[in-house]
Amino acid sequence: MITTTPPADWRDLQQQVGRILRECGLTVEIERKIATVRGNVEVDVYATETILGRRSVTLAECKHWAAAVPQSVIHSFRIVVADTGANLGYVVSKAGFQSGAFSAAELTNLRLVTWEGFQAEFEETWIHAYLRPTLDARLERLIRYTEPFVPRKFMEVDDEGVRRIRELLDRHEAFATLLLRFSVFGEDFFKGILDLPLRTFWPEMAGKVPDEILDACAYREFLEAAIAHGEAAITDFHEALRAGGVEP
């Protein structure tokens, strides 16, 4: 799952759906008005992407209702998707769908999903397009500082700097190993991505990696905790370098 945080209301559901699509590499507009042969319509989420010169349009209708979505809503949205020439349409429902809704979506390019189901549809793409690159961009220095080949700057520090850097390497070695598994490099080198929570599948990390990282049950929460911990570790390395007489 990308996140365990449920949308607070209908507007937040729109924003969260749009956010995931945007992080997956799509260009997103919220509440876009579109002209069709039947008149102007407004869609909750309008997203486009171009792959190898082919443009694709995805629409999403977001229903933060207490009741299941009825068949009539699906019929109406099916017409919108057809009239706009969209490639794919999602109806994202907080409370699920009435049985007739699924019949109305059969043999069409509509997907009827809950908030959790929508995340599942895009989880693999989100990890590839957002989680891995974000970790690399924000924590690349930490990966470089902890790799087997000692950075040249580390060889220029005085004895006090060496002592502090060695302490940091011991402290962050396990976390750096974890980062490699989630990095862009890890996507090619390791098969698949680790399931969450990490404490269940990588128990030997207990005591070596912060609890908020080990116990995260969704990848966004894992990403946020990993970045916070990793950036603090980078700051520690920079302070150790300065203490050893070297500018980072």
Domains of the chain as residue ranges with CATH: 10-120 (3.40.1350.10), 146-243 (no CATH)
- pLDDT, tens digit, 9 for 90 and up, residues 138-184: 999 998 888 877 777 777 888 787 888 889 989 999 999 899 899 98
Which DSSP string do the residues of 45-111 spell out, in sequence order? Answer: EEEEEEETTEEEEEEEEEE--SSPBPHHHHHHHHHHHHHHT-SEEEEEESS-B-HHHHHHHTTSSEE
Whose tokens are 């919108």? That residue is 80
Percentage of the chain surpassing pLDDT 70?
A: 100
Average pLDDT of the chain?
A: 93
Determine the Cα–Cα distance for residues 57 and 74; give it in Å rounded to an integer. 18
Rounded to two decimals, the pTM is: 0.92
- pLDDT recorded at residue 193: 85
- pLDDT recorded at residue 190: 83
Alpha helices in the chain, H assignment, sequence order: 10-23, 71-84, 99-105, 115-126, 132-145, 159-182, 184-189, 198-201, 211-214, 219-243
Six token digits for residue 86: 């969209």
| Paired sense of beta strands 88-93 and 110-114, if any | parallel
Q: Tell whether the model's pLDDT for residue 38 goes beyond 80.
A: no
- pLDDT recorded at residue 217: 97
- pLDDT, tens digit, 9 for 90 and up, residues 174-217: 999 899 899 988 888 887 888 999 999 889 999 999 999 999 99
- pLDDT recorded at residue 155: 77
